[in-house]
Structure 1
Amino acid sequence: MKCLELFAGAGGLAMGATLAGFEHVGVVEWDRWACDTVRENQRRGHPLVKDWPLFEGDVRKFDLGGVPDDLDLVAGGPPCQPFSMGGKHRAYDDHRDMFPATVEIIRRTRPKAFIVENVKGLTRAAFANYFSYIQLQLAFPEIARRADEQWIDHLVRLEREKTSGVLSGLTYDVVTRLVNAADYGVPQKRERVFIVGFRHDIDARWSFPEETHSRDALLADQFVTGDYFERHRIAKRNRPTPPGAASARLRGRNEPMNEAPWRTVRDALVGLSDPEQTAGPHLNHRFQPGARSYHGHTGSPLDLPAKTLKAGDHGVPGGENMMVKGDGSVRYFTARESARLQTFPDGYIFHGAWSEVMRQLGNAVPVLLGQVVASSVAQSLAMSQMAPAPGRH
């Protein structure tokens, strides 16, 4: 199956799509540092990226002439700064809003499906109308905004089309979900919005993948059976105090857990050396001094999934991308530790200084989460091709 990746960044979502079986006909990214990261890994022959046709530049200038007519998937995460909780929240007034460009590419390539990822901030009440506008544009990409038309007037036209009951031309069945990456095995509490669409003539019958990991399963693993701390060889005197109410509730539970435990920072960092002592053999694993804790920026405990890794205009904002060590002190995550938290493979190297690498990682889609979503889309596409349903127009 063929995929076109937009706003690829350091490659997290695109790598997930590769693992799901998609072959990329184009991987588009404007940031030179992120492109250097991809090119460096291609030079090293990394199997997940070595065959990517990388285009460094604006997606609006990408030549779609080489994209096949039977494109299966368009995927990407348009720049999140217009909607980020840490940004200026300008949305449609922000020149970095690339949703219109995304819709235009979907209109021109007519893929069987698309996957669009963005930050939780997109779902804020202040953006409610614009979020609806984004979804309706993706559902009806051929109903384009007129040159002299305000976006709110375009929204009205799209709403009328949706409620008309008549579907014609290029339309998509759109599903939107706010997900926590930790619920899918990523060792990080990272909430993101996914907008997934299937072309209306495709009998996909798709829904978002079920969660596979949970906080309750982690608490049971830690404080009911104790297996978690036994695995990590944590002496009983050094174990944290169990949360009373949750622990009691789980001890009284009779039915087995259907989910696996949330993966924690400690789980993710198994096998990595202490960077304050030695960098060891791992790539991008160097100690970064200067971490400090203050109100609102307290770091990630070892025995929970990490807090959301962040990217900022000036490196790491507020020093939040750090761990709380066993003695209560804090230090920054190394780039390799951060890559582990984003489920990038250890053999994948990042190009640039630490702050630049952390920006790439803070903007990335966790590879595992990308694989989960892309695999479910691939499965639905494959099943639809095996048994096309009559009567869909």
Structure 2
Amino acid sequence: MAKTMSALHRIEAKVLASTRKAVALRQKRIAKAMFEIAEMMSAFASVLPDNKVIGFFGPECGLPRSDVRTYLKLAKLSHEDRGSIRKNVASFSTLKALVQVKPEARDEAMQRMAKGTRLGPVDITRIQRDQRLASIGADVLKTKQEASFFTRQARKPVNNIRDFRSRFTEFALSLEEFYFAHLDKFDDMSDAERTAFDQQCAEFKRTAAEALTQFEAIFDVSNLPGIWEQDCYTGMRESNRLARAYHALCDIAKGLFEPWSQGEDGERPGGISAGFVDPYYLDALLWLCGQPTHLNANSSIRPVPSSGEAPSVMPSTRLRSIELCAGAGGQALGLHSAGFDAQVLFERDKDAVATLRQNDWLGEVVAADIKQVDFSRYKDVDLIAGGVPCPGHSNAGKRKGRDDERDLFMEAVGIVGTVRPKAFFFENVKGFNEKPNADYRAELHGMLTDLGYDSRVFAFTGADLGLPQLRPRIALIGFRDGRMRDFHMPPIFPEWASTVGSAIGDLVRANGWEHADAWIEKANRLAPTILGGSHKSNATGFTTNYSKETMEALQLDPTRIADQAPPKGHPADAPFALTHAMAARMQAFPDDWNFHGNLQAKKRQIGNALPPIMARAVGLAIYSALTGEKFDYEQALQMPIVRSETLTQWRDRVGLNGGSRRYHHSQAAELEIQEAGDMGADWDALRA
């Protein structure tokens, strides 16, 4: 028995020794690779600014930004220091600690490691702390650490807000319950009910006074905007909603339960009787406490659902967006279905503008070159999106890239810097993500990093969402405030695979072509990507010479566009051309979406659009990252597209027949307020 145990121990020792050797070898390989990356970055850092280096090695190479900064610091050390670190450091965490501490602490740590002492990140930090303690004394160090602690706390109001919410959320929810309980029977109470009612109001008054005291300790109330600078009907900036919450607490602490909208000596619209809780005050207080509200569907703050909550199929509230280079509205239509209401849509092509205005009302349409627009008025929206012009990156073009005068990506980055949205989503052709544009992407990522945004380029394909064409696209997506870590591209659904025949078969047989069913069976594959071309393009079909043979194999004429489906008597094997309606169906536009313009103008609008279902899928993922709401994508993306009223329908409904401009529930409130006076609209009728 003893011999057996001895043999087992020898085997175990041998295995452990072998494993130790293998681990050491692999650590050396890791260290070698780590320093090779550092040398590459050092070469870049010697000729490029840091933001471009971070933009390339981060989003392009997939390194976390903090790691890139560590490598940059390593690259800036002397050659001698780098060599010494390379000999003694085998883990990235230790490397990171060494480059972050002061030179004196790094030197001492390296001396210890050279003598065989193994140091980790905590050990290296302690060396720096001990050196500092020795130089200034324990009492001085303690005083400085305490001062630093209180400074950090003052810079983190989120901790105070959490405390506020833990104390006063019940107050806000009770106020909401009180509002609905007495909404219809305030004047029909018994004496006992009236006594209980008055006691509840007194309790609200007392609690509001406590909440007001804590609110004023957290926020600088002297710089809050005016309470009615934005209207409640269409969404507000957070600063305005905060101001309204402050005024709500001030009034309720006085026993006044509705806002003062007149002058100081004016009467309140509903008198001063306690018991009428203004719904917009209630909305602001619920928002302040992180609670959803049934009173204003435009609240942009929503608590994260619990892990046990079933995924949503439709967004539970509405967020605000701005659309750049909106085209025919494909991306805007998809984002509208994903929970975003466009404050304004910018488009300079007159035919596309007409298309946007004659279909669903997705927001105010402004016919303008985005280079000429002052975007400072649109600050703090949730999302900026758009199909930023991309002919310089297209495989179908001359690939001028950044040198193409039509490229507006740099302009879009500038707009992001002005507006400061919570997120942005710019779609482009797949050529944007290819090798020749790596330096351009790195520059864009670097600029966005300087603006405080994390950004990445994602590839996605229309065929994965059931389109009858390949439609490869890329999405440049970014978030501020660290929300990129919560973003995930939507799932794909290969089982939704479609074919050209199944997608447009009913349109092909519309004129009674006898061989339509045979063609549908033959067209049992995907089409190449539908293309629109630029204003400079002379192509008369929806494709290029690169995919001509594929279109011909589908019995489709790639050289022209038809004005109607094949008629009766059309030969069985003769090719026919796609109509605008067929191409729009392949792009997943609603069948009743009307395109304005001549043959080429319609072709551009249809072929250049981001299909609504692709925009909807990415939009839901962005919405989820911003709000925490999770979606059942399989169900959500098969729901009918969310439609809005047309301008005519909306005007008929609200009785607004005069005026030279348009208004709509999805339009920006600040536009309504600031421009109402000179638009000639019946403002009272609108607000009613």
TM-score of the two chains, using structure 2 as the length reference: 0.39
The Cα shift of 1:380 comes to: 1.6
Structure 1 residue aligned with 2:427: 117
Structure 2: gaps (5+ residues): 1-318, 514-521, 557-570, 630-688
* Aligned: 1:335 with 2:653: no
Partner of 1:307: 528
Quote how far apart the aligned CAs of 1:359 are.
1.3
Which structure has greater helix proportion? 2
Q: Give the match for residue 151 of structure 1.
A: none
Match of 1:53 among 329, 339, 364: 364
**Counterpart in 2 of 1:360?**
605
Deviation at 1:309, TM superposition (A): 0.6
| Contact kept? 1:204, 1:383, Cα under 8 Å | no
Residue deviations 1:8-44, cap 9 Å, x none? 1111111111111101111011111111111222xxx
Q: Residue 160 of structure 2 corresponds to which residue in structure 1?
A: none
Retained in 1: the 8 A contact 2:428–2:474?
Answer: yes
Please give the secondary structure, in 2, of the residue aligned with 1:210: coil
1:266 paired to 2:501: yes
Asked which structure has the greater RCO (Cα within 8 Å, sep 6+), the reply is 1
Q: Is the 8 A contact 1:34 1:360 kept in 2?
A: yes
Question: Matches of 2:473 and 2:446 in 1, distance apart?
Answer: 19
SS, match of residue 393 in structure 2 = coil
Aligned to 1:80: 390
Q: Which amino acid aligns with 1:306?
A: A
When the two chains are superposed, the root-mean-square deviation of aligned CA atoms in Å is 2.5
Match of 1:18 among 333, 336, 345: 336
Q: 3-state SS of the aligned residue for 1:54?
A: strand
Match of 2:555 among 324, 327, 331: 324
Task: Give 1:91's aligned residue.
Answer: 401
Contact 1:4–1:27 (CA under 8 A) maintained in structure 2: yes
3-state SS, counterpart of residue 118 of structure 1: strand
Q: Secondary structure at the match of 1:97?
A: coil
CA distance in 2 between partners of 1:51 and 1:126 (Å): 36
In structure 1, C-alpha distance between the alignment counterparts of 2:369 and 2:464, rounded to whole Å:
33
SS of residue paired to 2:390? coil
In structure 2, what is the Cα distance between the partners aligned to 1:311 and 1:382? 35
- The within-5 A match list for 1:265-284 is 265-274=500-509, 277=512
**Secondary structure in structure 1 of the residue aligned to 2:600:** helix
Q: Which residue identity lines up with residue 352 of structure 1 in the other structure?
A: G
State how far apart, in whole Å, the 1-side matches of 2:365 and 2:442 are: 32
Matched residue type, 2:356: V
Q: Matches of 1:64 and 1:264 in 2, distance apart?
A: 43
**Runs of 4+ more than 4 Å apart:** 275-278, 317-323, 325-328
Do the aligned partners of residues 343 and 187 (structure 1) sit closer, same or farther apart at CA in structure 2, a change above 3 Å counting? Answer: same
Matched, 1:62 2:293: no
Specify the SS of the correspondent of 1:111.
coil
Q: 1:65 to 1:210 in 2, by over 3 A?
A: same
What SS is found at the alignment partner of 2:424? Answer: strand
Q: Does 1:206 align with 2:427?
A: no
Tell me which amino acid in the other structure corresponds to 1:372: A
Residue 102 (structure 1) aligns with: 412
Which structure 1 segments of 5+ residues have no match?
Answer: 141-169, 214-259, 279-300, 385-393
CA separation in 1, counterparts of 2:577 and 2:601?
A: 14
Aligned partner of residue 122 in structure 1, secondary structure: helix
Instruction: Report the identity percentage.
Output: 32
Shift of 1:328: 4.8
Deviations 1:240-297 (A, max 9, x none): xxxxxxxxxxxxxxxxxxxx2311112211432536658xxxxxxxxxxxxxxxxxxx
For 1:53, the aligned partner's letter is E
Q: Which has the higher strand share?
A: 1
Residue 173 (str. 1) matches residue 436 (str. 2): no
Secondary structure at 2:529 match in 1 = coil
Equivalent residues of 2:459, 2:474 under 8 A apart: yes
Distance 2:364 2:456 in 1: 29
**Within 5 Å, which residues of 2 pair with 1:110-259?**
110-140=420-450, 170-202=451-483, 205-213=486-494
Report if aligned partners of 2:503, 2:585 keep a CA contact under 8 Å in 1: yes
The 2-side partners of 1:38 and 1:203 are apart by 31
Alignment of 1:285-304 (within 5 A): 302-304=523-525
**Number of aligned residue pairs:** 281
Q: CA deviation at 1:335?
A: 0.5
By how many angstroms is 1:202 displaced?
Answer: 3.5
Residues 175, 207 of structure 1: 8 Å contact kept: no
Contact 2:396 2:544 in 1 (8 A): no
Deviation at 1:127, TM superposition (A): 1.8
Letter in 2 for 1:22: F
2:526 maps to amino acid: P
Contact 2:487-2:624 within 8 A present in 1 as well: no
Task: Evaluate the alpha carbon distance shift between residue 200 and residue 311 of structure 1 in structure 2; reply closer, same or farther with a 3 A threshold.
Answer: same
What amino acid does structure 2 have at the position aligned with 1:178?
A: A
Mapped to 1, the partners of 2:396 and 2:362 lie a distance apart of 35
Deviations 1:130-186 (A, max 9, x none): 12222333333xxxxxxxxxxxxxxxxxxxxxxxxxxxxx41122221221101222
CA 1:277–1:203 in structure 2 vs 1: closer, same or farther (change >3 Å)? closer
Q: What one-letter code is carried by the residue in structure 1 that aligns with 2:371?
A: R
Distance 2:478 2:588 in 1: 25
Are 1:7 and 1:78, in contact at CA under 8 Å, matched by a contact in 2?
Answer: yes
CA contact (8 A) 1:198 1:204 kept: no
Please give the secondary structure, in 2, of the residue aligned with 1:196. strand
The CA distance in 1 between the partners of 2:498 and 2:446, in whole Å, is 36
3-state SS in 1 of match to 2:343: strand
Query: Which structure: larger Rg?
Result: 2
Distance in structure 1 (CA, Å) of the matches to 2:596 and 2:608: 14
